[in-house]
Structure 1
């Protein structure tokens, strides 16, 4: 325990906390926490599978804090989305299982394919994203989509929340509602994936705790900022963030 405390209150611990905070803010606003979290942790020398495991723990805790806030405020009913949460959890477990059996290069190829597909979906969905007021009825959610994204999230992650946000926007949900549903799915997929990583002994608590504290703080900051985000900004920023994610993954493949 003493060793862990030394790690948490060291310079590295402060750096990890800052990384978690920035990643959570960006994750809540634009669904791209992995764009900050994973590259930053890899940059300071943390192994890929440990990085993914810590990411699932930190992001899951961050999403849980948001979900609890949504429920307390009466924005969401967990009972209504129980089946969606179970499907996302199973997807997270399956994704983590696959990740532990794939090389880093294969993981990056899978990420690249998902991100390129989602990039074109975002470009085709811009008309939906410019609506500040919902003009049509919310369409039913095809649970295969959150399940597939949760598999990717459990095994890798960058851009997964953004994929879910984009999907719910296509189903005519308002941006804030799309974020709320995405946080539920993210919490569920991260919980399933983290439990798998934990029982396989991959989690490093010296890294996970400071990143998670930063994520909790960042997630609440992100929710405070959301009401001030204009949908026109989302229309511009979503494709840019996806493009940067693709560039990052492709560069990892070429190194």
Structure 2
């Protein structure tokens, strides 16, 4: 324990905390925490599978802190969305299993195809981002799309929350509600994936803890900023974030 504490208080620990902080803020606002977190961890020399495991732990903890807050405030009902949470957790387990079995290059190809598909949806459907959507206008949800996104999230992750936000917005959910539901699904898929990585011995606590503390702090900062985000900003920023994610994944493929 003393060794871990010493590791957390080093310059590297501060860097990891900062990475988690920035990633969580971006993740809450635009669903793209992986764009900051995974490349940054790889950049400081963390192995790919350890990076994914740390990503799931940090994102799961920050999502848990948000979901607890949403439930306490009455914004979310665990009972109402329990089946979605269960499906997402199973998807996370499958994703983690695929990540262990498949090579990094194949995972990058899957990520690239998924992000391009979601990017096209954003470009073709910018009119669904409406700030004053009423509850009665929300369209029915199905579990297949969140399940597929959760598989991708458990095995890789960058852009998965953005895909969920896109899906909920397309179903005419208010942006803040879309973020709340996405955090709930992120908690579920990350929990399933993390448990799989934990029992396979991939988790490195010296890395996971400082990143997670940063993620928790960043998630609350992100929620404080959301009310000030205007619709026109979302319409502009979502496609840009998608493009950055796609460029990042493609650059990994051609290395």
Aligned 1:89-108 pairs, distance under 5 A? 89-108=89-108
1:24 aligns with 2:18: no
Cα shift readout 1:116-174 (whole Å, capped 9, x = no counterpart)? 00000111120011x21106611111100000000000000000000000000000000
State the partner residue of 1:132.
131
Could you tell me how far apart the structure 1 residues matched to 2:125 and 2:150 are?
21
1:4 Cα deviation after fit: 0.5
Runs (4+) of structure 1 moved beyond 6 Å?
Answer: none
1:186 Cα deviation after fit: 0.3
Aligned 1:61-76 pairs, distance under 5 A? 61-76=61-76
State the partner residue of 1:244.
244
Could you tell me how far apart the structure 1 residues matched to 2:106 and 2:3 are?
35
Could you tell me how far apart the structure 1 residues matched to 2:60 and 2:13 are?
19
Structure 1: stretches of 5+ with no match in the other structure? none
Could you tell me how far apart the structure 2 residues matched to 1:8 and 1:102 are?
32
1:80 aligns with 2:80: yes
State the partner residue of 2:196.
196
1:113 Cα deviation after fit: 0.5
Aligned 1:133-152 pairs, distance under 5 A? 133-134=132-133, 137-152=137-152
State the partner residue of 1:4.
4
State the partner residue of 1:112.
112
1:219 Cα deviation after fit: 0.2
State the partner residue of 1:216.
216
Could you tell me how far apart the structure 2 residues matched to 1:108 and 1:162 are?
17
What TM-score comes out, normalization by structure 1 length? Answer: 0.99
What TM-score comes out, normalization by structure 2 length? Answer: 0.99
State the partner residue of 1:171.
171
Could you tell me how far apart the structure 2 residues matched to 1:124 and 1:157 are?
23
Cα shift readout 1:43-69 (whole Å, capped 9, x = no counterpart)? 000000000000000000000000000
Could you tell me how far apart the structure 1 residues matched to 2:94 and 2:235 are?
32
Could you tell me how far apart the structure 1 residues matched to 2:140 and 2:186 are?
19
1:210 Cα deviation after fit: 0.1
State the partner residue of 1:58.
58
Could you tell me how far apart the structure 2 residues matched to 1:137 and 1:194 are?
36
